[in-house]
Each structure stands twice: as C-alpha cells, then as structure tokens.
Structure 1
C-alpha cells in the first residue's frame, strides 16, 4: 500500500512537471530554433540546409537542442515561486515606486467602481486600500491571503506551512492541480515575453524582413497576454481553494498543537496567540485575554490616488511593445 501510494504521488508529480515546466519549455525551444533558423533566410532554406548537412552536424544540433531544453526546464522549474511573486507585483523598490504606483492607483479606482460581488474574489476589501497590489493577479492572490486573517484572525503566512501537511490527500491533489495550472500559464507568459523580446532583438540585429520582426514581437506579446489572462482565472480558482482549506481544515491544526477548538471570538483568540508564538516566540499563556471582544476598527481613509489617468500595467506593457515594434520597423529591419 505504501509503495503504491508513493508511485501514485510520483505519477502526479511527473504529470505536473510535464504540464507546468516541460511543455512550455519545449514550445519555447522549438519556436526559438525556428526564429534563429529563419532569421537569415526562409524556412525552406533552413530545411534545405538541414537536409544537406552531415550527420555529425545534425547530432550536434539535436544535442544542443536537448541541452537547451534541459536548461530551460530546470531554470523554469526552480523559478516558479519567483515568477508568481513577479506577477503579483513584488518588485524592486525603483519599479515599485514608478510602475507599481501607477498600477496600484489604477486598481484602487477599479475597486471603488466595482460592485462587491465582482470584487470579492479579485481584490482586497475596500477597507484595506494599502493592500492593493499593482497587478490583477496580485490582487486576486492578496484577497485570498487576507481572507483567513479577516475571518479567523489567522496570519496565512505563518499558518499555511503548518496547515499544509495536515490537509487530506484528495484536497492536496485538487490544490496542486490548481497551482500547476496557474504556474504553467505564468511560465508560458514569461517565456512568450522572452521569445518576443529576444527573438525580435535577434531579427532586428540580422536585419530580417519587417513582417517577420513584427510577427515575432507582437505575436509573442499577444501570446503572453493570452496566457496571463488565463492565469488570472486560475489565480481566482486557486484562491478559492486556499479559502476552503482554512474554512474546513484549520481545526486540524489546533488539534495537532493541542489547543482547544473554539467558536467565534474564542477561536480568534487562540489563533492570535498561536501566531504571536510562532512569529515572536511569545508563549500563549503569557498573552492576556481581552476583557471584551475587540471592536472593529473604523474604516481607514481612502488611500491617496493621484488625479488624472492611471494606466494599468497591462496597458503600459502593450504600449511598450507597440512602440518597440514601430521603432524596430523604422530603424533596423529590411
């Protein structure tokens, strides 16, 4: 039984690796090879050169392709968490102060205009404007991250690593599939951007035909946008699964650490004590119990939003791709 379970888990992990890492890397490497092959001539010329080449050269080309595929897959597999954080909007301070500020201003306006039903799964509450992220994907995941804190007083960053091992295998399978779908689409979007920028730069340098240059740049940008849109839907689904995990299985963690499972404010007090213990080492019995339930804090004043038009990050990216395509077509291609 144990060996069968291990084999089943290995099979699931293998399918996730193929779907989330290997397939996007394979498509990327094939398209990159096509761009390089057609950069100095037509696809017919590249195919003719392949047929006329010696078997030694063909072996070297195939070996190089396999090596590139392995390198891209390995790098992509180890960078999945970094890609998610990049898509969420956790950027370096200079980018956060410029592009990030524009993105947050855009989404604060969007939250004020949206109705509660539409904004519930996609944005943090209106009462927490400082938690607005500069990207739509970041806001969807931030809303899921804030859910356990607002409902139960649970700090998700502290509790999730301890709750995750206690989740049932069936739920872990569903949760893993949702995360794999999210990371696969984000990886595809990232590789599409790399191919669009790198391939267009190569075609511009070798003075390839203008239509080929624009097809590579704008086609790759369009593919990245479509993959990102798909990732947004996956992020909402993944966030729902995270909410369900805290709703249904948070009591398992209280039982595992030997704490009583309470209701309402009693449960909130237990979680606040545990989070203080895990975060700062304060023993639970040293935390004074409040004499009365804490009153909800008043709504904070709306965060300052610069007047005027605040474009989204997607719109800024589209404008950059459009400008780069026009500039490249006018200056460098044949």
Structure 2
C-alpha cells in the first residue's frame, strides 16, 4: 500500500510541476524581460544583458541561503500563477458552454445572452440562404435547369461556421458539442444530459480513456486561453507581450475548435455504438441499432419519478 501511495504522490507531484510550476516560471521570466525592456526599448537585449549582469553580481544571489530563498519564492510564485491560469481557464470553459437561457456566469450573463442572440440571428439568416440554395437545386433537377452544387456547398459551409444546430451557447465550440445532445434527442429520442452518467458506466474502458483524453485536450485549450490573458497583462510593461498573447489566443482558438469537433464526434459515436448497451442494461428490448422508440424508452426509464403529493 505504501508503494502505491508513493507512486501516486510522484505522479501528482510531476503533474503539478508540469502544469503549474514550469509555465509559471516561464511567465515570471517573461515578466522580468518585459520589465527590463519597458515600452521605450522593446527588444532591448543590451539592457537585458546589463540587468542579468547586475543580478549575477548581487550579494544576495551569491550566498547559498539567498539563492535558496529566491528559488523557493520563485517556485511558489510560479505555482500561484499557474493556479490563477487554472481559474481563468475554468471561466473560459464556462463561457464556451454557457447556456444562453440559464447561465450562471453572473456579471457575464448579459454578454452571454447578447452573444447567443446575435449568433441565433446570424444562423437563421444563413439557414434561410441554405434553404433557398437547396430549393434552387431541387427545382433545377426537377425542371432540367443548370445546377449549382458549389453554391449549395458554400451556403452549407457558411451555416456550419456559425453552428451545426440552432445556437444555444455563445461560442462555436459550445454549440458543436451541444449539437450532439440535440441530435440524440431528435434522431434517437434520447436525453443525453440525463442518460450520460449511466451510459458512461456501461462504456468499455478503451472508449472512456479516449473520451477523457480528448476532453483533457479541450481543457488544455482553455488553459492556453488563460495564459493569453496573463501575457496580455504583461503587455502593460512591454508591448511585445501583446504579440505573444495574440499568438496564444489564436492557438487556443484553433486548438479548442479542432478538439471540440473531435470530442463531439466521439460523443456521437458513443451514443450510436453503445446506446443499445445501456438499453440492454436497463432490460429494454430493441432491434438492432438505437432507434427513436428505444431511446424514448431509455429516457423514460431514467427520468426521476414525481414525488407524491404531501411528501
């Protein structure tokens, strides 16, 4: 038992060091460089070299005790910075997946609802454009007119750039994942929010491992967005930090959207391939793949009963 706990402690410590201390230490270095350069001397490597020389000649850094104290303080500061980024990342994820109807983001509630409303109006406009392009293609086939499949594809891509289903969150990432639940309800009669904990129990270990891995990558994209916020704050000291913050924000957006698409496909595959496993576990008869009647039966079986009157 002691060896197991020791190995667990080593893994936790390694993970803590990797996620918090190392990126935090790099940020402290960036702050020091930004402070040395300032706004008036960006990329002032001569100033940086002079500052490093001054620090190396400091009596406090030459003593062992002073060096130990400095390293301990820097490690603690890096860890605190890493935890701050974790808090920002949690807020970013909450914003990505915020429900426009019942968000809990407090002061950001108006921003969320405004974004959702704007996205819905844009989506409806593009859906009408796509419907008109689709109708033109149908008429072209029916009456032997010249077809325009490229126009139909372009209208469809423009629609998908907003959301695959009617927008319910302020971001494409949230709507891409939410579309899985919408389609599970429409095509299979399954309330995925209700059924997911039970479906998770019957999944094979390989499927769960893959889902957890991709979901962790999505959280990593949110952490990258959190670091972009901190580096933007460092830009107050020296403007090149703004460039780095912009690069991190762009990388976070790309990584988040790519990973969200992969995560959504995994969730959809899980519903389609293992939905009947949940039905089997609940003793619900079915024929072949998960159809609407089986999905409705699963949802009904998992829906909590109404408390009796007077209870």
Normalising by structure 2, what TM-score?
A: 0.67
Partner of 2:48: 43
C-alpha RMSD of the superposition? 3.7
Q: Is the 8 A contact 1:276 1:282 kept in 2?
A: no
Give the C-alpha shift of residue 74 in structure 1. Answer: 3.8
User: After superposition, where does 1:149-168 map in structure 2 within 5 Å?
Assistant: 149-168=185-204
Offset, 1:57: 4.3
**Larger displacement relative to structure 2 (232-241 or 154-163):** 154-163
Does the 8 Å contact 1:124/1:146 carry over to 2? no
Matches of 2:164 and 2:15, distance apart in 1: 30
Aligned to 1:180: 216
Q: Does 1:124 align with 2:133?
A: no
Q: Tell me if 1:200 matches 2:199.
A: no
Aligned equivalents of 2:213 and 2:234: distance in 1?
Answer: 32
Larger-gyration structure (1/2): 2
Structure 1 match to 2:142: none
Matched-pair contact (CA < 8 Å) for 2:34–2:234: yes
* Per-residue CA distance 1:99-148 (angstroms, 9 max, x = gap): 443344445445555555786697233xxx3x343322122122123232
| 1:31 paired residue number | 30
CA distance in 2, matches of 1:68, 1:154: 48
Equivalent pair of 1:188/1:227 in contact (CA under 8 Å): yes
Corresponding residue for 2:170?
A: 134
1:291 is matched with none
1:272 to 294, 299, 304: 299
Cα distance, 1:29 vs structure 2: 4.3
Structure 1 counterpart of 2:280: 255
What does 1:303-314 align with in structure 2 at a 5 Å threshold? Answer: none
Q: List gaps (5 residues or longer) in structure 2.
A: 42-46, 100-104, 131-153
Offset at 1:30? 4.0
SS of equivalent residue, structure 1 residue 124: coil
1:237 is matched with which residue: 262, 268, 274? 262
Closer/same/farther in 2, CA of residues 124 and 70 from structure 1, 3 Å limit: same
Over 3 Å counting, the alpha-carbon distance change for 1:164 and 1:31 in structure 2 is farther
Structure 1 pair 171/138, CA: closer, same or farther in 2 (3 Å)? same
Contact 1:104 1:135 in 2 (8 A): no
Q: Does structure 1 residue 61 correspond to structure 2 residue 70?
A: yes
**Alignment match, 1:146:** 182
Aligned length: 259
Q: Give yes or no for contact 1:124–1:132 (8 Å, CA) kept in 2.
A: no
Q: Report whether the alignment pairs 1:223 with 2:248.
A: yes
Does residue 101 of structure 1 match 2:117?
Answer: yes
CA offsets per residue over residues 155-185 of structure 1, 9 Å max, x none?
A: 2222112222322111122112211221112
Q: Are the counterparts in 1 of residues 190 and 298 from structure 2 also a CA contact under 8 Å?
A: yes
- The worse-fitting range, judged by mean Cα deviation, of 31-40 and 115-124 is 115-124
For the residues of structure 2 that align with 1:269 and 1:122, how far apart are their CA atoms? 30
CA contact (8 A) 1:140 1:235 kept: yes
Q: Distance in 1 between matches of 2:217 and 2:16?
A: 11
Greater relative contact order, per chain length (Cα 8 Å cut-off, separation 6+): 1
Q: Structure 1 pair 102/218, CA: closer, same or farther in 2 (3 Å)? A: farther
Q: Distance in 1 between matches of 2:182 and 2:281?
A: 23
Q: Distance in 2 between matches of 1:108 and 1:14?
A: 50
Matches within 5 A, 1:77-116: 77=86, 81-90=90-99, 91=105, 92-109=108-125, 115-116=155-156
TM-fit CA distance, 1:72: 3.4
Secondary structure of 2:169's partner?
A: coil
